[in-house]
C-alpha cells in the first residue's frame, strides 16, 4: 500500500478531511471522537505503522485499528441468529467467463462452499459480482446468514481475512444504496461506519457486501435506480473488491443487449466487472430427510412418501422448498400431520391455499382460544375466514405503505378496526391484539422499535393476493386502482388473487371488464397499466366462450409465458420480452401491438396466432442463441411458426438468411460482454469455436479499427490479448437491427459513440 492510498483510506474513516494530518512520518487523525497518533514508516515501498511500540503493515492496522473488523465479526455473530437446523443446499455455479468461457454451469453439492469458491480473489482490475439466485423460499437469505456467521467465526480464529456482511434490501422503497448500507450497519449490527469507509474495505477485499433482495423488478421496469446504484458501486470500487447480490433472477440471464446495457453503460471506463451466478436448486429427498432428522423426526421417509402419494408428485414444492418444509415439520412435530394430509388438495394451483389454510386452522383451534369464557367451554376467537381476512388486511397495509414490516402500534390499530368491523366484543378485540404478536405466520423484527412482519415473503405475497382478490370482487374501481398503482405485483400474489376469486364464484367476465377499463385509462408511466395487464392475462385463462377484446394495456416481462388463452384480440397493447410458444388453438390475434422481444425456439408451433400491423423489435431464438431484428426476417420467421403475419404468406426462411455470417459472428462475440466488461483472447476462441479463426483474421481487425472494441493491457499470467467494448451496449441492438452487413454494422456503432 502506497502513501496516497493510505491517506485516502484514513480520510474515509474521518468525519472531515481536515481531521487528518499526515506528514513528516506522523499521522494525527480524529476518528470517531478518538485522537489517533501513530508513526508512519516506509519499508520496501509499503507503508507500515508503529503504535505503542508495535509495528503493523498499513493493511493490518487499518482493519484492526480503524475498521475494527473483529468487533464487526462479533456483531455479526450476535445479531444474526444461528440456524439450528441448517441444511446445505445444492446449486449450479456459472463461473467467471475468463475462467470458464463456455456457458455451462458446474453442479455443486454445497452452496456455502460454492460462495467461498466464487468469491476468491480473481484478476486485478476487475470487480467480481456474484449473483445468488433461486425462487422465493429456497434458502437465499438463510444461506447468506450461514456463510456470514461461518466467516465471522473463522475471522475471529484467524482462519480467514474477510467478512461477508448481509445488507437487506427487501421491502424498502429503493432509496440510495449508501443510506441502506449505513442504516443496516448502524441499526442491525450496532456498528458505526461511513459509507466511503465501507467501500474502502470492500476495495481491500476485507469486506464483501451481500445485497439481499435485489429483485428483478428493478431490472426489467422503467425505473433504473437499482441498476444505477449497482453501476455506481462498481465505479466506486474501481476494478477491485467483491460483491454478492441475492435475487430471484440474475441480470446477465437477460438475453437482450438493451436490458443488460442498463447496468453495463453505467460502469465507467476505468472500472471493470465480471459476473458469476450461483443458482440454488430445490431441496432433494436427501435434503428433506436431513432437515427432518435435525428437527427430531426419526421417520422422515414415511412423511415424504405420504405427502408425495397424496399430491402425486415427489417433487412437489411442499417437499422441495425450504420454507414450506420447515412449516411442514412444525406440523409433524405437533402430531397433526395426518390432519394436514387430509386437507391438502391434489389441485396443483391451490396447494398453497390448502397448506396455509391448514396452518391457520391449527392456529385458530389450538392457540386462539377465547379466554374470557368461564368453565370448560372454549371456542376460537376467530373463524378460519376471519383469520385469513385479518392477515390479508395486514398484508394490504404493508403493500400500501411499501414495507414488509409494520410497527406494533400500527398492527394493533389494524386489529381494532378489524374487530369493530366484525362486531367483536372488547374482550375478544383485546385478545386479538395480544395474540397477533405470537402468531405462527408473523415474526418480530427490530430491537429498539418492534415491528411485525410475515414469517416469509411467500406468506406475505399470499395474503396480499387474498386482499387483491377481495378488491377484484368489489365494484369500487377507485380502491382497486389504488391497489394496482402502488408497485409491481408479484406473480404469486396475482395467482392467489385469481384463486380467491374463483373460490368466491366470481363473475370473471365482469371482473375482466373492470380491470381492463382501469388499465386502459391509466397513465403509461404508472404501475397500474402493467399490473392490470398481468391480472388480465390470468383472468383470460378463466373466461371461456365469446371472443374478448383487450385494448391499450401494457404487459410485464414473461406475461404470456406458459399461459393458455383463447379467443382474444389484443389491440394497441405493449408487451415486454415474453416467450410465446408452443401453443394450441389459441385463436389469438395481436393487432397494432408493440413487442420489445418475442422469445421462441426455432421449432415452436404458433398455430392459431395472428399478428397484424404489429411492431416487433426483435425475436430471440433460444435454441440457436440468435437474435433477429430485421422486420422482413421477423415476419418470415413468424410465418414459419405457422402464425399468420399480415397475410397468409408461408414462405420458408433459412436462419442463415436472417443475418450475414460476419455480422452474426460479431454479435456472438459481443454477446460475451454481457458477462464481463473486459475479455481475454481465449474467451473468444472458446466461445466462437470453429468461427474463431475467421473472427480473429477478418472480423476483429475491423472491430478494432472501427472503434467497436479496444485492446487493453493484459495483467494476468502468460501472454494473450485483452479487449473491452468501446461503444455503448445499448446501441448494439439498434445497429444489428438496421445493419445490412458487418461494414454498415461498424459504421452505425462508430457513429453512435459519445
- Report the distance separating Cα 106 and Cα 95, nearest Å: 8
Q: How confident is the model at residue 706 (pLDDT cuts 50, 70, 90)?
A: confident
Residues 153 and 172 in one domain: yes
Give residue 741's domain range. 659-751
Domain membership of residue 87 (yes or no) is: yes
Are 391 and 441 in contact by the 8 Å Cβ rule? The answer is yes
Are 344 and 368 in contact by the 8 Å Cβ rule? The answer is no
Are 164 and 310 in contact by the 8 Å Cβ rule? The answer is no
Q: What share of the chain is helix, strand, coil (3-state, %, to 5)?
A: 45, 20, 35
Work out whether the CA dihedral 704, 707, 713, 714 comes out positive or negative.
Answer: negative
Domain membership of residue 698 (yes or no) is: yes
Question: Helix or strand or coil: residue 644?
Answer: strand
Q: How confident is the model at residue 384 (pLDDT cuts 50, 70, 90)?
A: confident
What integer is the mean pLDDT of 377-389?
83
State pLDDT tens for residues 37-53.
888 888 877 889 888 88
State pLDDT tens for residues 195-240.
899 999 999 999 999 988 775 434 444 444 555 677 778 888 888 8
Q: How far is CA 77 from CA 152, 659, 698, in A?
A: 7, 57, 57
Strands 405-407 and 588-591: unpaired
Residue 421 has pLDDT above 70, yes or no: yes
Give the strand order in the sheet containing 26-31: 20-23, 26-31, 34-43, 46-51, 54-57
Residue 647 has pLDDT above 50, yes or no: no
DSSP secondary structure letter of residue 369: B
- Report the distance separating Cα 209 and Cα 148, nearest Å: 10
**pLDDT score at 98:** 67
DSSP secondary structure letter of residue 417: H
- Report the distance separating Cα 281 and Cα 175, nearest Å: 31
- Report the distance separating Cα 583 and Cα 564, nearest Å: 7
Residues 141 and 267 in one domain: yes
Which range is least confidently modeled, 178-187, 490-499, 658-667? 658-667
Residue 19 has pLDDT above 70, yes or no: yes
DSSP secondary structure letter of residue 244: E
- Report the distance separating Cα 664 and Cα 393, nearest Å: 54
What integer is the mean pLDDT of 644-653?
44
Are 584 and 607 in contact by the 8 Å Cβ rule? The answer is yes
What integer is the mean pLDDT of 625-651?
65
For 716, the grid coordinates are: 494476468
Q: How far is CA 313 from CA 75, 301, 306, 687, in A?
A: 43, 15, 11, 39
Residues 294 and 172 in one domain: no
Work out whether the CA dihedral 156, 160, 162, 166 comes out positive or negative.
Answer: negative
DSSP secondary structure letter of residue 380: B
Domain membership of residue 696 (yes or no) is: yes
- Report the distance separating Cα 91 and Cα 116, nearest Å: 13
For 625, the grid coordinates are: 442463441
- Region of 24 on the Ramachandran plot (φ > 0 left; ψ -120 to 50 alpha; else beta): left
Q: How many residues does the chain have?
A: 754
Residues 306 and 178 in one domain: no
**pLDDT score at 582:** 64
- Report the distance separating Cα 508 and Cα 426, nearest Å: 39
Give the residue among 624, 626, 646, 620 at the shortest CA–CA distance from 635: 646
**pLDDT score at 220:** 40
- Report the distance separating Cα 357 and Cα 377, nearest Å: 25
Question: Helix or strand or coil: residue 23?
Answer: strand
Domain membership of residue 633 (yes or no) is: no
DSSP secondary structure letter of residue 485: T
Domain membership of residue 422 (yes or no) is: no
Of 256, 280, 304, the domain-final residue: 280
SS3 track for 579-595? ECCCCCCCCEEEECCEE
State pLDDT tens for residues 133-155.
887 667 888 899 999 999 999 99
State pLDDT tens for residues 260-293.
666 677 776 667 788 888 888 888 889 899 999 9
Q: How far is CA 19 from CA 58, 196, 200, 316, in A?
A: 19, 15, 18, 60
Note every long-range contact of 744-751, with CB atoms under 8 Å and residues 24 or more positions apart, other chains counting. 745/663, 745/666, 746/702, 746/703, 746/706, 746/708, 747/706, 749/706, 749/707, 749/708, 750/706, 750/707, 750/708
Residue 747 has pLDDT above 90, yes or no: no
Residue 327 has pLDDT above 70, yes or no: yes
Q: How far, rounded to the nearest angstrom, does the alpha carbon of residue 580 sit from its chain's CA centroid?
A: 23
Residue 447 has pLDDT above 60, yes or no: no
Average pLDDT value over all residues in the chain: 82
Q: How confident is the model at residue 371 (pLDDT cuts 50, 70, 90)?
A: low
Residues 306 and 166 in one domain: no
Neighbouring CB atoms inside 10 A of 26's CB total 11
Query: Residue 235 sits in a domain of what CATH number?
Result: 3.40.50
State the alpha helices, DSSP H only, in 187-244.
195-203, 225-237
- Report the distance separating Cα 735 and Cα 750, nearest Å: 10
Strands 91-94 and 273-280: antiparallel
Are 68 and 62 in contact by the 8 Å Cβ rule? The answer is no
* Percent of all residues in the chain with a pLDDT value above 90, rounded to a whole number: 18
Of 66, 95, 111, the domain-final residue: 66
Which residues pair with residue 273 across a beta bridge? Answer: 127
Residues 172 and 133 in one domain: yes
Domain membership of residue 627 (yes or no) is: no
Q: How confident is the model at residue 30 (pLDDT cuts 50, 70, 90)?
A: confident
State pLDDT tens for residues 553-594.
999 888 888 788 888 999 999 998 888 876 555 788 899 999
**How many structural domains comprise the chain?**
4
What integer is the mean pLDDT of 91-119?
80
Domain membership of residue 139 (yes or no) is: yes
Residues 264 and 180 in one domain: yes
Q: How confident is the model at residue 445 (pLDDT cuts 50, 70, 90)?
A: confident
Of 300, 328, 344, the domain-final residue: 344
Neighbouring CB atoms inside 10 A of 18's CB total 9
**pLDDT score at 623:** 76
Which residues pair with residue 37 across a beta bridge? Answer: 28
Residues 54 and 143 in one domain: no
Residue in this structure with the C-alpha cell 368489489, named with its chain if needed: 474
Q: How far is CA 686 from CA 400, 693, 695, in A?
A: 50, 11, 12
- Report the distance separating Cα 91 and Cα 104, nearest Å: 13
- Report the distance separating Cα 514 and Cα 371, nearest Å: 44
Q: How far is CA 725 from CA 116, 296, 629, 674, 680, in A?
A: 30, 56, 21, 10, 12
Task: Decide which of 739 and 159 is more confident.
Answer: 159
Q: How many CA atoms lie within 13 A of 363 on its CB side?
A: 25
- Report the distance separating Cα 531 and Cα 464, nearest Å: 14
**pLDDT score at 650:** 38
Residue 492 has pLDDT above 90, yes or no: no
- For residue 72, report the phi and psi dihedrals to the nearest 5 degrees: -65, -40
Which of 52-56, 444-448, 544-548 tops mean pLDDT? Answer: 52-56
Are 258 and 671 in contact by the 8 Å Cβ rule? The answer is no
Residues 293 and 246 in one domain: no
Task: Decide which of 616 and 105 is more confident.
Answer: 616
DSSP secondary structure letter of residue 162: -
**DSSP string covering 549-574:** EEES-EE-TTTTTT----SEEEES-E
Query: Residue 731 sits in a domain of what CATH number?
Result: 1.10.10
What integer is the mean pLDDT of 66-81?
92
Residues 123 and 256 in one domain: yes
Residue 193 has pLDDT above 80, yes or no: yes
Domain membership of residue 98 (yes or no) is: yes
Residues 199 and 263 in one domain: yes
Question: Helix or strand or coil: residue 94?
Answer: strand
Residue 410 has pLDDT above 50, yes or no: yes
- Report the distance separating Cα 572 and Cα 257, nearest Å: 25
- Report the distance separating Cα 388 and Cα 422, nearest Å: 13
State the alpha helices, DSSP H only, in 127-217.
140-156, 177-183, 195-203
**DSSP string covering 627-665:** EE--HHHHHHHHHHTT-EESB-------HHHHS-HHHHH
- Intra-chain end-to-end CA distance of the chain, in Å: 36
- Report the distance separating Cα 127 and Cα 112, nearest Å: 21
- Report the distance separating Cα 657 and Cα 51, nearest Å: 72
Q: How confident is the model at residue 164 (pLDDT cuts 50, 70, 90)?
A: very high
For 82, the grid coordinates are: 444461528
Residues 252 and 273 in one domain: yes
Amino acid at each position: 500500500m502506497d502513501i496516497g492510498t493510505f491517506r485516502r483510506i484514513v480520510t474515509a474513516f474521518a468525519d472531515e478531511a481536515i481531521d487528518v494530518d499526515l506528514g513528516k512520518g506522523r499521522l494525527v487523525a480524529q476518528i470517531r471522537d478518538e485522537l489517533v497518533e501513530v508513526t508512519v514508516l516506509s519499508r520496501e515501498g509499503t507503508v507500515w505503522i508503529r503504535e505503542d511500540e508495535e509495528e503493523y503493515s498499513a493493511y493490518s492496522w487499518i482493519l484492526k485499528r480503524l475498521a475494527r473488523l473483529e468487533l464487526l465479526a462479533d456483531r455479526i455473530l450476535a445479531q444474526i441468529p444461528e440456524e439450528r437446523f441448517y441444511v446445505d443446499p445444492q446449486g449450479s455455479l456459472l463461473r467467471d467467463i475468463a475462467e470458464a468461457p463456455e456457458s455451462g454451469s458446474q453442479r455443486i453439492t454445497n452452496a456455502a462452499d460454492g460462495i467461498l469458491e466464487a468469491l476468491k480473489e480473481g484478476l486485478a482490475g476487475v470487480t467480481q459480482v456474484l449473483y445468488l439466485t433461486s425462487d422465493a423460499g429456497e434458502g437465499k437469505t438463510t444461506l447468506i446468514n450461514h456463510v456470514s456467521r461461518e466467516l465471522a467465526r473463522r475471522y475471529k480464529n484467524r482462519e480467514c481475512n474477510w467478512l461477508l456482511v448481509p445488507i437487506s434490501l427487501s421491502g424498502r422503497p429503493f432509496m440510495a444504496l449508501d443510506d441502506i448500507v449505513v442504516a443496516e450497519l448502524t441499526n442491525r449490527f450496532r456498528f458505526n461506519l461511513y459509507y466511503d469507509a465501507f467501500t474502502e474495505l470492500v476495495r481491500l477485499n476485507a469486506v464483501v457486501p451481500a445485497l439481499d433482495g435485489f429483485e428483478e423488478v428493478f431490472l426489467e421496469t422503467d425505473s433504473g435506480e437499482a441498476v444505477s446504484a449497482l453501476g455506481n458501486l462498481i465505479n466506486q470500487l474501481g476494478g477491485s473488491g467483491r460483491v454478492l447480490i441475492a435475487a430471484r433472477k440474475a441480470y446477465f440471464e437477460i438475453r437482450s443487449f438493451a436490458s443488460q446495457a442498463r447496468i453495463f453503460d453505467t460502469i465507467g471506463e476505468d472500472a471493470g466487472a465480471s459476473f458469476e451466478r450461483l443458482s440454488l436448486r430445490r431441496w432433494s429427498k436427501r435434503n428433506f430427510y436431513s432437515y427432518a432428522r435435525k428437527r427430531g423426526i426419526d421417520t422422515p421417509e414415511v412423511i415424504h412418501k405420504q405427502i408425495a402419494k397424496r399430491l402425486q408428485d415427489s417433487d412437489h414444492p411442499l417437499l422441495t422448498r425450504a420454507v414450506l418444509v420447515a412449516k411442514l415439520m412444525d406440523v409433524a412435530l405437533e402430531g397433526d400431520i395426518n390432519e394436514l394430509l387430509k386437507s391438502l388438495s391434489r389441485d396443483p394451483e391451490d396447494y398453497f391455499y390448502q397448506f396455509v389454510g391448514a396452518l391457520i386452522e391449527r392456529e385458530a383451534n389450538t392457540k386462539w382460544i377465547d379466554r374470557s369464557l368461564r368453565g370448560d367451554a372454549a371456542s376460537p376467537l376467530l373463524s378460519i375466514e376471519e383469520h385469513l381476512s385479518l392477515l390479508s388486511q395486514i398484508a394490504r397495509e404493508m403493500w400500501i405503505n411499501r414495507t414488509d414490516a409494520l410497527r406494533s402500534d400500527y398492527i394493533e390499530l389494524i386489529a381494532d378496526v378489524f374487530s369493530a368491523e366484525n362486531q367483536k366484543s372488547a374482550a375478544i378485540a383485546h385478545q386479538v391484539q395480544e395474540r397477533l404478536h405470537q402468531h405462527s405466520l408473523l415474526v418480530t423484527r427490530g430491537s429498539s422499535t418492534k415491528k411485525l412482519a410475515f414469517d416469509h415473503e411467500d406468506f406475505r405475497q399470499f395474503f396480499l393476493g387474498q386482499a387483491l382478490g377481495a378488491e377484484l370482487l368489489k365494484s369500487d374501481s377507485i380502491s382497486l386502482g389504488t391497489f394496482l398503482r402502488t408497485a409491481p405485483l408479484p406473480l404469486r400474489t396475482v395467482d392467489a388473487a385469481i384463486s380467491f376469486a374463483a373460490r368466491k364464484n366470481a363473475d370473471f367476465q365482469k371482473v375482466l371488464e373492470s380491470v381492463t377499463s382501469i388499465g386502459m385509462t391509466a397513465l403509461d408511466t404508472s404501475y397500474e397499466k402493467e399490473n392490470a395487464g398481468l391480472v388480465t392475462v390470468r383472468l383470460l385463462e378463466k373466461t371461456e366462450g365469446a371472443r374478448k377484446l383487450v385494448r391499450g394495456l401494457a404487459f410485464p416481462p414473461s406475461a404470456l409465458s406458459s399461459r393458455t388463452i383463447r379467443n382474444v384480440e389484443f389491440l394497441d397493447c405493449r408487451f415486454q420480452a415474453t416467450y410465446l410458444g408452443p401453443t394450441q388453438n389459441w385463436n389469438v390475434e395481436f393487432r397494432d401491438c408493440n413487442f420489445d422481444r418475442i422469445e421462441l425456439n426455432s421449432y415452436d408451433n404458433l398455430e392459431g396466432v395472428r399478428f397484424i400491423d404489429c411492431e416487433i423489435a426483435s425475436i430471440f431464438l433460444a435454441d440457436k442463441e440468435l437474435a433477429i431484428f430485421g422486420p422482413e426476417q421477423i415476419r418470415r420467421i413468424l410465418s414459419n411458426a405457422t402464425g399468420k403475419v399480415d397475410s397468409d404468406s408461408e414462405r420458408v426462411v433459412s436462419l442463415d438468411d436472417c443475418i450475414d455470417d460476419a455480422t452474426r459472428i460479431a454479435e456472438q462475440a459481443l454477446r460475451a460482454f454481457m458477462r464481463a466488461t473486459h475479455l481475454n483472447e481465449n474467451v473468444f476462441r472458446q466461445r466462437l469455436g470453429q468461427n474463431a479463426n475467421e473472427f480473429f483474421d477478418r472480423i476483429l481487425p475491423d472491430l478494432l479499427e472501427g472503434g467497436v472494441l479496444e485492446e487493453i493491457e493484459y495483467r494476468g499470467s502468460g501472454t494473450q490479448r485483452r479487449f473491452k467494448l468501446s461503444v455503448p451496449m445499448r446501441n448494439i441492438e439498434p445497429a444489428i437491427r438496421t445493419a445490412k452487413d458487418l461494414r454498415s454494422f461498424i459504421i452505425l456503432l462508430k457513429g453512435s459513440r459519445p
